[in-house]
Amino acid sequence: MLSLRSISLIAAVGLCHLSAHATETDDIKQQLAALKAQIAALEQRLAEQETVVAKQAPAAKPYSEAGSADKADKTEDGIRLGGAIRTNYSHTSYSDGNKNRGGDFAFDIFRLNLNGSIGDVLLNAEIRFFDYMTAVKYAYVGYQLTEDWQVQAGITQVPFGNWPYNSHNYFFSTNYYLGLEDDHDLGLLFKRQLADNWQLDLGFFKNDELGGVDGYVSSRADRYSYDIVGYRQGDDGIYDEPAQPLGEYNTFAGRFAYQLEHSKDFTTELGLSALAGGLHDGQHRAGSYHAWALHVNSHYQRWNLQLQHGEYHYDIDDVDRMAVGAYAFYDSIAAKAKTSTVNLAYSLPLSWGPVSGLQFYNNYGLIYNKSDNSRDTMMNVTGFSVAAGGLFTYFDLVHAKNQPFVGGSAVGDSDDTERRFNINIGYYF
Protein backbone atom coordinates (compact mmCIF):
# COMPACT_ATOMS: atom_id res chain seq x y z
CA MET A 1 0.00 0.00 0.00
CA LEU A 2 1.25 3.48 -0.83
CA SER A 3 2.27 5.75 2.05
CA LEU A 4 2.59 9.49 2.49
CA ARG A 5 6.34 9.00 2.63
CA SER A 6 6.18 7.42 -0.84
CA ILE A 7 4.14 10.35 -2.12
CA SER A 8 6.68 12.80 -0.69
CA LEU A 9 9.52 10.88 -2.36
CA ILE A 10 7.74 11.01 -5.71
CA ALA A 11 7.29 14.75 -5.28
CA ALA A 12 10.96 15.27 -4.41
CA VAL A 13 12.19 13.23 -7.39
CA GLY A 14 9.82 15.13 -9.65
CA LEU A 15 11.10 18.50 -8.47
CA CYS A 16 14.73 17.45 -8.91
CA HIS A 17 13.90 16.34 -12.44
CA LEU A 18 12.32 19.70 -13.18
CA SER A 19 15.25 21.71 -11.87
CA ALA A 20 17.73 19.67 -13.88
CA HIS A 21 16.02 19.59 -17.25
CA ALA A 22 13.37 22.35 -17.51
CA THR A 23 14.69 25.38 -19.34
CA GLU A 24 11.64 27.54 -19.76
CA THR A 25 9.22 28.95 -17.19
CA ASP A 26 6.12 27.76 -19.07
CA ASP A 27 7.47 24.23 -19.26
CA ILE A 28 8.19 24.25 -15.52
CA LYS A 29 4.65 25.45 -14.73
CA GLN A 30 3.13 22.78 -16.96
CA GLN A 31 5.23 20.03 -15.42
CA LEU A 32 4.45 21.28 -11.89
CA ALA A 33 0.74 21.17 -12.66
CA ALA A 34 1.06 17.64 -14.00
CA LEU A 35 3.07 16.58 -10.95
CA LYS A 36 0.46 18.04 -8.58
CA ALA A 37 -2.24 16.11 -10.42
CA GLN A 38 -0.25 12.89 -10.05
CA ILE A 39 0.21 13.52 -6.30
CA ALA A 40 -3.52 14.20 -5.88
CA ALA A 41 -4.32 10.96 -7.69
CA LEU A 42 -1.87 9.03 -5.52
CA GLU A 43 -3.34 10.53 -2.33
CA GLN A 44 -6.83 9.58 -3.49
CA ARG A 45 -5.65 6.03 -4.18
CA LEU A 46 -4.03 5.86 -0.74
CA ALA A 47 -7.24 7.03 0.95
CA GLU A 48 -9.27 4.45 -0.95
CA GLN A 49 -6.88 1.63 0.00
CA GLU A 50 -6.93 2.64 3.68
CA THR A 51 -10.74 2.66 3.63
CA VAL A 52 -10.81 -0.86 2.17
CA VAL A 53 -8.40 -2.15 4.82
CA ALA A 54 -10.42 -0.54 7.63
CA LYS A 55 -13.66 -2.07 6.38
CA GLN A 56 -12.08 -5.54 6.17
CA ALA A 57 -11.13 -5.45 9.87
CA PRO A 58 -13.34 -7.65 12.11
CA ALA A 59 -16.14 -5.82 13.89
CA ALA A 60 -15.49 -5.30 17.61
CA LYS A 61 -17.82 -4.87 20.56
CA PRO A 62 -18.34 -1.18 21.19
CA TYR A 63 -18.49 -1.54 24.99
CA SER A 64 -14.98 -0.17 25.49
CA GLU A 65 -14.02 1.28 22.13
CA ALA A 66 -13.67 4.79 23.61
CA GLY A 67 -10.93 3.70 25.97
CA SER A 68 -9.68 0.20 25.25
CA ALA A 69 -6.48 0.86 23.34
CA ASP A 70 -3.44 -0.56 25.08
CA LYS A 71 -1.22 2.18 23.70
CA ALA A 72 -2.48 5.77 23.77
CA ASP A 73 -1.53 8.28 21.09
CA LYS A 74 1.52 9.96 22.54
CA THR A 75 1.73 12.70 19.92
CA GLU A 76 -0.81 14.82 21.77
CA ASP A 77 -1.40 15.45 25.46
CA GLY A 78 -4.96 15.65 26.64
CA ILE A 79 -7.93 13.65 27.86
CA ARG A 80 -10.66 12.77 25.37
CA LEU A 81 -14.30 12.44 26.43
CA GLY A 82 -16.57 9.86 24.83
CA GLY A 83 -19.51 7.74 25.81
CA ALA A 84 -22.75 6.12 24.78
CA ILE A 85 -26.51 6.19 25.25
CA ARG A 86 -28.30 2.86 24.87
CA THR A 87 -31.89 1.67 24.83
CA ASN A 88 -33.19 -1.89 24.82
CA TYR A 89 -36.20 -3.82 23.49
CA SER A 90 -36.97 -7.38 24.66
CA HIS A 91 -39.66 -9.97 24.00
CA THR A 92 -39.49 -13.02 26.26
CA SER A 93 -41.06 -16.45 26.77
CA TYR A 94 -40.79 -16.39 30.57
CA SER A 95 -42.87 -13.30 31.37
CA ASP A 96 -46.60 -13.38 30.58
CA GLY A 97 -46.85 -9.63 31.09
CA ASN A 98 -44.04 -8.98 28.64
CA LYS A 99 -45.68 -11.23 26.03
CA ASN A 100 -49.09 -9.61 26.51
CA ARG A 101 -47.58 -6.16 25.96
CA GLY A 102 -45.74 -7.29 22.83
CA GLY A 103 -42.39 -6.84 24.58
CA ASP A 104 -40.89 -3.93 26.48
CA PHE A 105 -38.73 -0.99 25.39
CA ALA A 106 -36.61 0.63 28.09
CA PHE A 107 -33.64 2.86 28.79
CA ASP A 108 -30.43 0.83 29.13
CA ILE A 109 -27.48 3.03 30.12
CA PHE A 110 -25.76 6.38 29.77
CA ARG A 111 -22.02 6.06 30.01
CA LEU A 112 -18.98 8.33 29.92
CA ASN A 113 -15.43 7.42 28.87
CA LEU A 114 -12.18 9.25 29.56
CA ASN A 115 -9.12 8.29 27.55
CA GLY A 116 -5.78 9.92 26.83
CA SER A 117 -2.48 10.93 28.38
CA ILE A 118 -0.69 13.79 30.09
CA GLY A 119 3.04 13.51 29.69
CA ASP A 120 3.91 9.83 29.76
CA VAL A 121 1.01 8.82 32.02
CA LEU A 122 -2.06 7.26 30.39
CA LEU A 123 -5.63 7.46 31.66
CA ASN A 124 -8.55 5.15 30.91
CA ALA A 125 -11.90 5.23 32.71
CA GLU A 126 -15.55 4.37 32.18
CA ILE A 127 -18.54 5.08 34.39
CA ARG A 128 -22.03 3.75 33.69
CA PHE A 129 -25.34 5.26 34.79
CA PHE A 130 -28.37 2.98 34.99
CA ASP A 131 -31.87 3.70 36.30
CA TYR A 132 -31.14 1.52 39.31
CA MET A 133 -27.40 2.02 39.99
CA THR A 134 -24.15 3.73 39.02
CA ALA A 135 -21.06 1.62 38.39
CA VAL A 136 -17.44 2.19 37.42
CA LYS A 137 -16.44 -0.42 34.87
CA TYR A 138 -12.74 0.47 34.83
CA ALA A 139 -10.53 3.35 35.92
CA TYR A 140 -6.75 3.10 35.71
CA VAL A 141 -3.58 5.00 34.96
CA GLY A 142 -0.90 3.45 32.79
CA TYR A 143 2.73 3.90 31.85
CA GLN A 144 4.63 2.52 28.88
CA LEU A 145 7.66 0.97 30.56
CA THR A 146 9.30 -0.09 27.27
CA GLU A 147 8.22 -0.38 23.66
CA ASP A 148 6.56 -3.73 24.42
CA TRP A 149 5.60 -3.49 28.11
CA GLN A 150 2.88 -1.39 29.72
CA VAL A 151 1.79 -1.24 33.37
CA GLN A 152 -1.75 -0.34 34.47
CA ALA A 153 -2.83 0.49 38.04
CA GLY A 154 -6.40 0.83 39.27
CA ILE A 155 -9.60 -0.92 38.26
CA THR A 156 -8.40 -2.84 35.23
CA GLN A 157 -9.42 -5.97 33.34
CA VAL A 158 -8.42 -9.35 34.73
CA PRO A 159 -6.47 -11.20 32.00
CA PHE A 160 -8.38 -14.41 31.31
CA GLY A 161 -9.61 -16.28 28.24
CA ASN A 162 -10.19 -14.98 24.74
CA TRP A 163 -9.34 -11.27 24.83
CA PRO A 164 -10.94 -8.83 25.23
CA TYR A 165 -14.23 -10.75 24.82
CA ASN A 166 -15.10 -14.41 24.51
CA SER A 167 -18.30 -13.56 22.62
CA HIS A 168 -19.79 -11.37 19.89
CA ASN A 169 -23.32 -10.73 21.19
CA TYR A 170 -24.88 -8.28 23.64
CA PHE A 171 -25.20 -10.88 26.43
CA PHE A 172 -21.54 -12.03 26.39
CA SER A 173 -20.98 -15.76 27.08
CA THR A 174 -22.00 -17.95 30.01
CA ASN A 175 -18.50 -17.25 31.45
CA TYR A 176 -19.38 -13.60 32.08
CA TYR A 177 -21.94 -14.58 34.74
CA LEU A 178 -19.22 -16.58 36.53
CA GLY A 179 -16.84 -13.60 36.64
CA LEU A 180 -14.60 -15.13 33.97
CA GLU A 181 -15.19 -12.73 31.07
CA ASP A 182 -14.74 -8.94 31.00
CA ASP A 183 -14.09 -8.90 34.77
CA HIS A 184 -12.46 -5.82 36.31
CA ASP A 185 -10.79 -5.64 39.72
CA LEU A 186 -8.47 -3.34 41.71
CA GLY A 187 -4.79 -4.03 41.19
CA LEU A 188 -1.79 -3.96 38.87
CA LEU A 189 -1.60 -5.33 35.33
CA PHE A 190 1.58 -5.77 33.28
CA LYS A 191 0.89 -6.18 29.56
CA ARG A 192 3.37 -7.30 26.93
CA GLN A 193 2.25 -6.17 23.50
CA LEU A 194 2.17 -8.69 20.66
CA ALA A 195 5.78 -9.08 19.46
CA ASP A 196 7.59 -12.08 18.00
CA ASN A 197 4.15 -13.71 17.73
CA TRP A 198 3.51 -13.89 21.49
CA GLN A 199 2.10 -11.76 24.25
CA LEU A 200 1.78 -12.04 28.01
CA ASP A 201 -0.44 -10.39 30.62
CA LEU A 202 0.37 -10.68 34.33
CA GLY A 203 -1.81 -9.20 37.05
CA PHE A 204 -2.06 -8.89 40.81
CA PHE A 205 -5.45 -7.81 42.16
CA LYS A 206 -5.73 -6.83 45.80
CA ASN A 207 -9.52 -7.14 45.84
CA ASP A 208 -12.63 -6.53 43.73
CA GLU A 209 -13.55 -3.12 42.32
CA LEU A 210 -15.76 -2.22 45.34
CA GLY A 211 -13.02 -2.56 47.94
CA GLY A 212 -13.42 -6.20 48.92
CA VAL A 213 -15.49 -7.83 51.64
CA ASP A 214 -15.68 -4.69 53.82
CA GLY A 215 -15.64 -2.00 51.14
CA TYR A 216 -17.54 1.18 52.02
CA VAL A 217 -20.44 0.82 49.59
CA SER A 218 -24.20 0.84 50.09
CA SER A 219 -24.65 -2.43 48.18
CA ARG A 220 -22.03 -4.93 47.03
CA ALA A 221 -24.34 -5.89 44.16
CA ASP A 222 -24.04 -2.45 42.52
CA ARG A 223 -21.26 -3.36 40.09
CA TYR A 224 -20.66 -4.08 36.41
CA SER A 225 -18.53 -7.23 36.78
CA TYR A 226 -19.67 -10.42 38.49
CA ASP A 227 -17.70 -11.23 41.68
CA ILE A 228 -18.06 -13.52 44.68
CA VAL A 229 -19.84 -11.69 47.54
CA GLY A 230 -20.58 -14.62 49.88
CA TYR A 231 -21.49 -18.28 50.13
CA ARG A 232 -24.86 -19.99 50.46
CA GLN A 233 -25.95 -21.75 53.64
CA GLY A 234 -28.70 -24.33 54.01
CA ASP A 235 -31.81 -22.15 53.94
CA ASP A 236 -30.51 -19.28 51.79
CA GLY A 237 -32.53 -18.41 48.72
CA ILE A 238 -30.87 -18.22 45.32
CA TYR A 239 -31.36 -14.45 45.09
CA ASP A 240 -30.95 -13.53 48.77
CA GLU A 241 -28.32 -11.15 50.04
CA PRO A 242 -25.71 -13.53 51.49
CA ALA A 243 -25.86 -14.01 55.26
CA GLN A 244 -22.13 -14.77 55.27
CA PRO A 245 -20.25 -12.16 53.17
CA LEU A 246 -17.03 -13.05 51.36
CA GLY A 247 -14.59 -11.15 49.21
CA GLU A 248 -11.85 -12.06 46.75
CA TYR A 249 -8.37 -10.86 47.68
CA ASN A 250 -4.70 -11.23 46.66
CA THR A 251 -5.46 -12.74 43.27
CA PHE A 252 -2.70 -13.53 40.78
CA ALA A 253 -3.72 -13.88 37.14
CA GLY A 254 -1.81 -14.63 33.96
CA ARG A 255 -2.65 -14.99 30.30
CA PHE A 256 -0.24 -16.25 27.61
CA ALA A 257 -1.07 -16.21 23.90
CA TYR A 258 0.86 -17.25 20.79
CA GLN A 259 -0.20 -16.21 17.31
CA LEU A 260 0.23 -18.50 14.31
CA GLU A 261 0.28 -16.87 10.88
CA HIS A 262 -0.97 -19.49 8.43
CA SER A 263 -1.20 -17.04 5.54
CA LYS A 264 -1.76 -13.35 4.83
CA ASP A 265 -5.45 -13.53 5.77
CA PHE A 266 -5.45 -16.51 8.16
CA THR A 267 -4.19 -16.27 11.77
CA THR A 268 -4.84 -18.29 14.91
CA GLU A 269 -4.14 -17.31 18.51
CA LEU A 270 -3.57 -20.16 20.98
CA GLY A 271 -3.77 -19.23 24.64
CA LEU A 272 -3.62 -20.43 28.22
CA SER A 273 -5.02 -18.50 31.22
CA ALA A 274 -4.92 -19.15 34.95
CA LEU A 275 -5.74 -17.30 38.17
CA ALA A 276 -5.63 -18.05 41.88
CA GLY A 277 -6.47 -16.09 45.02
CA GLY A 278 -7.94 -16.06 48.50
CA LEU A 279 -11.43 -15.61 49.97
CA HIS A 280 -11.90 -13.50 53.11
CA ASP A 281 -14.90 -13.25 55.46
CA GLY A 282 -13.95 -9.85 56.90
CA GLN A 283 -12.01 -11.29 59.84
CA HIS A 284 -10.12 -14.32 58.58
CA ARG A 285 -9.15 -16.16 55.44
CA ALA A 286 -12.14 -18.38 54.63
CA GLY A 287 -10.83 -20.29 51.62
CA SER A 288 -9.25 -20.02 48.20
CA TYR A 289 -10.20 -20.13 44.55
CA HIS A 290 -8.63 -20.82 41.19
CA ALA A 291 -9.57 -21.10 37.54
CA TRP A 292 -7.91 -22.03 34.26
CA ALA A 293 -8.82 -22.02 30.58
CA LEU A 294 -7.48 -23.04 27.18
CA HIS A 295 -8.59 -20.77 24.35
CA VAL A 296 -8.36 -20.42 20.56
CA ASN A 297 -9.17 -17.30 18.53
CA SER A 298 -8.87 -17.80 14.77
CA HIS A 299 -9.44 -15.28 11.96
CA TYR A 300 -9.79 -16.41 8.34
CA GLN A 301 -10.65 -13.60 5.95
CA ARG A 302 -14.01 -12.35 7.34
CA TRP A 303 -14.61 -15.35 9.61
CA ASN A 304 -13.82 -15.52 13.33
CA LEU A 305 -13.88 -18.74 15.37
CA GLN A 306 -13.48 -18.69 19.17
CA LEU A 307 -13.12 -21.83 21.28
CA GLN A 308 -12.62 -21.96 25.04
CA HIS A 309 -12.69 -24.64 27.71
CA GLY A 310 -11.89 -24.32 31.42
CA GLU A 311 -12.75 -24.99 35.04
CA TYR A 312 -13.14 -22.94 38.22
CA HIS A 313 -13.22 -23.93 41.91
CA TYR A 314 -14.09 -21.95 45.07
CA ASP A 315 -12.64 -24.07 47.86
CA ILE A 316 -14.43 -23.58 51.21
CA ASP A 317 -15.14 -26.41 53.65
CA ASP A 318 -18.64 -27.86 53.28
CA VAL A 319 -19.72 -25.22 50.73
CA ASP A 320 -20.96 -26.15 47.27
CA ARG A 321 -22.78 -22.95 46.28
CA MET A 322 -21.54 -19.34 46.14
CA ALA A 323 -23.31 -15.96 46.07
CA VAL A 324 -22.43 -13.48 43.32
CA GLY A 325 -23.46 -9.88 42.78
CA ALA A 326 -23.86 -7.58 39.78
CA TYR A 327 -26.40 -5.19 38.23
CA ALA A 328 -27.96 -4.42 41.65
CA PHE A 329 -29.06 -7.97 42.42
CA TYR A 330 -27.66 -11.15 43.95
CA ASP A 331 -27.56 -14.58 42.33
CA SER A 332 -25.82 -17.90 42.91
CA ILE A 333 -23.34 -20.19 41.14
CA ALA A 334 -21.96 -23.64 41.88
CA ALA A 335 -18.70 -23.60 43.87
CA LYS A 336 -17.08 -25.74 41.19
CA ALA A 337 -17.88 -26.42 37.54
CA LYS A 338 -16.55 -26.83 34.03
CA THR A 339 -17.32 -24.42 31.21
CA SER A 340 -17.05 -24.59 27.42
CA THR A 341 -17.90 -22.10 24.67
CA VAL A 342 -17.96 -22.17 20.84
CA ASN A 343 -18.42 -18.90 18.91
CA LEU A 344 -18.53 -18.29 15.16
CA ALA A 345 -18.90 -14.90 13.45
CA TYR A 346 -18.81 -13.47 9.94
CA SER A 347 -18.07 -9.77 9.31
CA LEU A 348 -19.46 -8.08 6.21
CA PRO A 349 -18.25 -4.58 5.28
CA LEU A 350 -20.88 -2.45 3.57
CA SER A 351 -21.37 0.98 2.08
CA TRP A 352 -25.14 1.37 2.23
CA GLY A 353 -26.18 4.80 3.39
CA PRO A 354 -24.85 5.20 6.95
CA VAL A 355 -24.35 1.42 7.35
CA SER A 356 -20.65 0.55 7.26
CA GLY A 357 -20.68 -3.07 8.47
CA LEU A 358 -22.61 -6.10 9.64
CA GLN A 359 -21.48 -9.00 11.78
CA PHE A 360 -23.44 -12.26 11.90
CA TYR A 361 -22.75 -14.69 14.76
CA ASN A 362 -23.77 -17.73 16.74
CA ASN A 363 -22.40 -18.02 20.29
CA TYR A 364 -22.88 -21.19 22.37
CA GLY A 365 -21.92 -21.72 26.01
CA LEU A 366 -22.34 -24.54 28.53
CA ILE A 367 -21.64 -24.79 32.29
CA TYR A 368 -21.68 -28.38 33.54
CA ASN A 369 -20.35 -30.85 36.15
CA LYS A 370 -21.53 -28.50 38.90
CA SER A 371 -20.59 -29.15 42.52
CA ASP A 372 -24.15 -28.44 43.76
CA ASN A 373 -25.65 -31.02 41.36
CA SER A 374 -27.88 -28.40 39.73
CA ARG A 375 -28.74 -28.80 36.06
CA ASP A 376 -26.47 -27.55 33.29
CA THR A 377 -26.57 -23.91 32.26
CA MET A 378 -26.83 -23.46 28.50
CA MET A 379 -27.08 -20.35 26.34
CA ASN A 380 -27.14 -20.07 22.55
CA VAL A 381 -27.29 -16.62 20.95
CA THR A 382 -27.95 -16.22 17.22
CA GLY A 383 -27.90 -12.71 15.86
CA PHE A 384 -26.17 -9.89 14.06
CA SER A 385 -24.85 -6.41 14.82
CA VAL A 386 -25.09 -3.31 12.65
CA ALA A 387 -22.62 -0.41 12.59
CA ALA A 388 -24.06 2.80 11.13
CA GLY A 389 -22.24 6.02 11.89
CA GLY A 390 -22.44 6.56 15.65
CA LEU A 391 -25.09 3.85 16.01
CA PHE A 392 -24.27 0.27 16.94
CA THR A 393 -27.19 -2.17 17.27
CA TYR A 394 -27.43 -5.81 18.37
CA PHE A 395 -30.26 -8.07 17.18
CA ASP A 396 -30.15 -11.24 19.34
CA LEU A 397 -32.33 -14.34 19.57
CA VAL A 398 -31.40 -16.17 22.78
CA HIS A 399 -32.33 -19.73 23.75
CA ALA A 400 -31.17 -20.77 27.22
CA LYS A 401 -31.62 -23.05 30.21
CA ASN A 402 -30.86 -21.90 33.77
CA GLN A 403 -29.28 -18.71 32.48
CA PRO A 404 -29.39 -15.29 34.26
CA PHE A 405 -31.34 -12.60 32.37
CA VAL A 406 -33.06 -15.29 30.31
CA GLY A 407 -35.60 -16.46 32.89
CA GLY A 408 -33.28 -18.46 35.12
CA SER A 409 -30.32 -18.73 37.46
CA ALA A 410 -26.93 -20.44 37.04
CA VAL A 411 -28.01 -22.81 39.87
CA GLY A 412 -31.51 -23.33 38.51
CA ASP A 413 -32.95 -26.82 38.17
CA SER A 414 -35.21 -26.35 35.16
CA ASP A 415 -35.24 -28.45 32.02
CA ASP A 416 -37.21 -25.83 30.07
CA THR A 417 -35.60 -23.83 27.28
CA GLU A 418 -36.47 -20.15 27.56
CA ARG A 419 -36.38 -17.63 24.72
CA ARG A 420 -35.55 -13.94 24.56
CA PHE A 421 -35.54 -11.74 21.47
CA ASN A 422 -33.51 -8.62 22.17
CA ILE A 423 -32.59 -5.43 20.33
CA ASN A 424 -30.03 -3.13 21.89
CA ILE A 425 -29.57 0.25 20.20
CA GLY A 426 -26.60 2.38 21.19
CA TYR A 427 -25.30 5.77 20.05
CA TYR A 428 -21.56 6.02 20.67
CA PHE A 429 -19.71 9.32 20.67
Task: Give me the pLDDT at residue 235, please.
Answer: 87
| 100 and 177 within one domain | yes
* Confidence check: pLDDT of 65 > 50: no
- Whether 333 is covered by a domain: the verdict is yes
* pLDDT > 70 fraction of the chain, expressed in percent and rounded: 83
- Whether 317 is covered by a domain: the verdict is yes
Question: How confident is the model over 64-70, as a mean pLDDT?
Answer: 39
* pLDDT > 90 fraction of the chain, expressed in percent and rounded: 80
Task: Give me the pLDDT at residue 151, please.
Answer: 98
- Whether 60 is covered by a domain: the verdict is no
d(CA 394, CA 209): 28
Q: Residue 270 — left, alpha, or beta (φ > 0 → left; ψ -120 to 50 → alpha)?
A: beta
- Whether 400 is covered by a domain: the verdict is yes
Structurally, the chain folds into a number of domains equal to 2
| 202 and 135 within one domain | yes
Task: Give me the pLDDT at residue 61, please.
Answer: 64
| 259 and 384 within one domain | yes
Residue 135 CA: distances (Å) to CA of 109, 139, 215: 11, 11, 14
* Confidence check: pLDDT of 37 > 80: no
Question: How confident is the model over 328-336, as a mean pLDDT?
Answer: 97
Confidence of residue 320 (pLDDT cuts 50, 70, 90): very high
* Confidence check: pLDDT of 335 > 60: yes
| 269 and 143 within one domain | yes
Residue 286 CA: distances (Å) to CA of 205, 234, 310, 314, 316: 18, 18, 24, 10, 7
Confidence of residue 76 (pLDDT cuts 50, 70, 90): confident
Lowest mean pLDDT among 58-67, 103-112, 194-203, 231-240: 58-67
Domain harbouring 146, CATH code: 2.40.160.10
Q: Cα angle at 152 between 143 and 212, to 5 degrees?
A: 150
- Whether 398 is covered by a domain: the verdict is yes
| 338 and 231 within one domain | yes
Task: Give me the pLDDT at residue 187, please.
Answer: 98
| 28 and 129 within one domain | no
- Whether 57 is covered by a domain: the verdict is no
- Whether 82 is covered by a domain: the verdict is yes
Domain that holds residue 387: 69-428
| 367 and 219 within one domain | yes
* Confidence check: pLDDT of 70 > 70: no
d(CA 270, CA 116): 31
* Helix axes of 25-56 and 4-21: crossing angle, nearest 10 degrees: 170
What single DSSP character describes residue 177? Answer: G
Question: How confident is the model over 123-147, as a mean pLDDT?
Answer: 97
| 76 and 35 within one domain | no
| 97 and 38 within one domain | no
- Whether 307 is covered by a domain: the verdict is yes
End-to-end alpha carbon distance in the chain: 30
Considering only residues 114 and 17, tell me which one the structure prediction assigns the higher pLDDT.
Answer: 114
| 388 and 293 within one domain | yes
Q: Strand ranges (DSSP E) for 209-265?
A: 227-231, 244-245, 247-263
Task: Give me the pLDDT at residue 137, please.
Answer: 98
| 134 and 8 within one domain | no
Average pLDDT for the chain: 87
Which helix (H) or strand (E) element contains residue 38? helix 25-56
Question: How confident is the model over 263-280, as a mean pLDDT?
Answer: 97
- pTM for the whole thing? 0.84
Confidence of residue 67 (pLDDT cuts 50, 70, 90): very low
| 261 and 359 within one domain | yes
